[in-house]
């Protein structure tokens, strides 16, 4: 083996060790609550957009999982999120998703709709969780021990996995909506209020997937 090859392998090993240490640090809550058998991470995607549903993810990872690169979904590239989505779906003990659509968001407000989507995601799980690690919130009407963690998607592997499931599920849906409702750039902006989206709103008006309570300032 020449020196260049040795150096390449050394750097690879260093990179792997650094990632293993990061994942270890992100497992602090999972270790803290290790007396609980089924630890479930909960997170959502899509609270801020003008259009589309809010989607929640619930993920129970095995205690000896070996999934690397889990992180807050917003810190990952789209390609990495898609890759990790497949790994999580394949290796997790259980995965659940839930969503609340635009009409429901307008009816009960975005926070209550988020809670509703989270309750749905928990109900979708094939294994009942013993404890929930939530990204910052305590979900009403859920009779399972809950631990709200501020910026939890960057501090807990379980919440990070849930954030990836929620975001990829929602992003795929918004790309499908882009084909149905062209002119708003949904494939790129995922329903957020970008310049192209606002221009589309002013030109074409709202679609059935727009949240009326979010776009009052942009429509007649």
DSSP string, 87-109: HHHHHSSEEEEEEE-HHHHHHH-
Q: How far apart are CA 165 and CA 171, in angstroms?
A: 10
pLDDT (0 to 100) of residue 220: 54
Topology of domain 3-218 in CATH is: Nucleotidyltransferase; domain 5 (3.30.420)
Q: How far apart are CA 90 and CA 125, in angstroms?
A: 14
Task: Return per-residue pLDDT of the chain as tens, 220 residues.
Answer: 788 888 889 899 999 999 999 999 999 999 999 999 999 999 999 999 999 999 999 999 999 999 999 999 999 999 999 999 999 999 999 999 999 999 999 999 999 999 999 999 999 999 999 999 999 999 999 999 999 999 999 999 999 999 999 999 999 999 999 999 999 999 999 999 999 999 999 999 999 999 999 999 887 5
Beta partners for residue 56, in sequence order: 44, 98
pTM of the model as a whole? 0.95
Question: What is the chain's length?
Answer: 220
Q: Where are the beta strands (DSSP E) in the chain?
A: 39-45, 54-60, 94-100, 131-135, 145-149
Please report, for the chain, the start and end positions of each structural domain, with discontinuous segments joined by +: 3-218
pLDDT (0 to 100) of residue 3: 81
pLDDT (0 to 100) of residue 171: 98
């Amino acid at each position: 083996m020449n020196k260049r090859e040795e150096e390449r392998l050394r750097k690879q090993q260093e990179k792997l060790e650094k990632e293993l240490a990061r994942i270890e640090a992100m497992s602090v809550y999972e270790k803290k609550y290790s007396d609980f058998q089924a630890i479930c991470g909960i997170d959502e995607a899509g609270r801020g957009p003008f259009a589309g549903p809010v989607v929640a993810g619930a993920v129970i990872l095995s205690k000896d999982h070996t999934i690397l690169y889990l992180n807050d979904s917003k810190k990952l590239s789209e390609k990495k999120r898609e890759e990790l989505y497949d790994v999580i779906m394949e290796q997790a003990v259980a995965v659940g998703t839930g969503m609340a659509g635009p009409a429901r968001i307008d009816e009960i407000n975005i926070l209550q709709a988020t809670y509703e989507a989270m309750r749905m995601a928990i109900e979708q799980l094939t294994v009942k969780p013993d404890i929930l690690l939530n990204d910052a919130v305590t979900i009403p009407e859920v009779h399972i021990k809950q631990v709200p963690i501020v910026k939890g998607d960057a501090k807990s592997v379980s919440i990070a996995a849930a954030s990836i499931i929620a975001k990829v599920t929602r992003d795929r849906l918004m790309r499908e909506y882009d084909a149905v409702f062209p002119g708003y750039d949904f494939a790129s902006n995922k329903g957020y209020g970008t310049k192209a989206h606002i221009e589309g709103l002013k030109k074409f008006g709202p679609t059935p997937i727009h949240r009326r309570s979010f776009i009052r300032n942009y429509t007649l």
